[in-house]
Amino acid sequence: MEAQGSRRRQLPVLLLWVNGLMTLGFAGARQQTELCNESLMLEKLPACGKSFEEMMKKVDSKKWCNLTEFIMYYDNFTQCTEREANNASCFWPNPLAEGFITGIHKQFFSNCTSEEVHWEDPPDEILITLILIPVMLTCAMITLVVWCSKRSDIL
């Protein structure tokens, strides 16, 4: 009996220990202990941009706004910037990497503005119906609840 009591007292300690291990990264999450070398990252990122630029030369400039035409190239570019940021012990995305990526976007996709959608209200008949149905259902439910609460004999 004493062994069971001792085990019960040890269980919370064991659970706290396991939680601590998982919090510290025992489950696979690594902590970043090195400082970000921003100058190294900024030195390496242009190589990613140059590679992306070379790949985009294969795509007709009229198709630059169609993501399906260059999605693989963009994926390679994204992975390259992430890899270089991680090699410099920096998290990704970070403000410097985002600034670099934004520059690439301005270079290639500045003319890719989306057409603005013009929203219109539905016709009055449909709008009135869409408004009145929930109002009527709410009134009916309130009436039903009040009626049922007054008739406690059926509950």
Tens digit of each residue's pLDDT (9 = 90 or more) over 89-119: 999 889 999 999 999 999 988 888 767 777 8
pTM here?
Answer: 0.53
Domain assignment of residue 138, yes or no = no
d(Cα 12, Cα 6) in Å, to the nearest integer? 11
pLDDT number for residue 120: 86
pLDDT number for residue 65: 87
Q: Residue 84: CB partners within 8 Å, gap ≥ 6?
A: 41, 44, 45, 47, 48
d(Cα 146, Cα 31) in Å, to the nearest integer? 59
25 dihedral zone (left: phi>0; alpha: psi -120 to 50; beta): left
Domain assignment of residue 132, yes or no = no
Domain assignment of residue 4, yes or no = no
Domain assignment of residue 51, yes or no = yes
d(Cα 139, Cα 141) in Å, to the nearest integer? 5
Low-confidence ranges of the chain (pLDDT < 50): 26-29, 32
DSSP assignment letter at 111: T
Instruction: Give the domain CATH number at 84.
Output: 1.10.150.510
pLDDT number for residue 27: 44
Q: Which residue has the tokens 């869409």?
A: 130
Domain assignment of residue 153, yes or no = no
Domain assignment of residue 143, yes or no = no
Our count of domains for the chain comes to 1
Domain assignment of residue 129, yes or no = no
pLDDT, tens digit, 9 for 90 and up, residues 65-75: 888 889 999 99
d(Cα 96, Cα 92) in Å, to the nearest integer? 9
Q: Which residue has the tokens 């219109």?
A: 120
Domain assignment of residue 105, yes or no = yes
Instruction: List the domain range (segments joined by +) for residue 105.
Output: 38-110
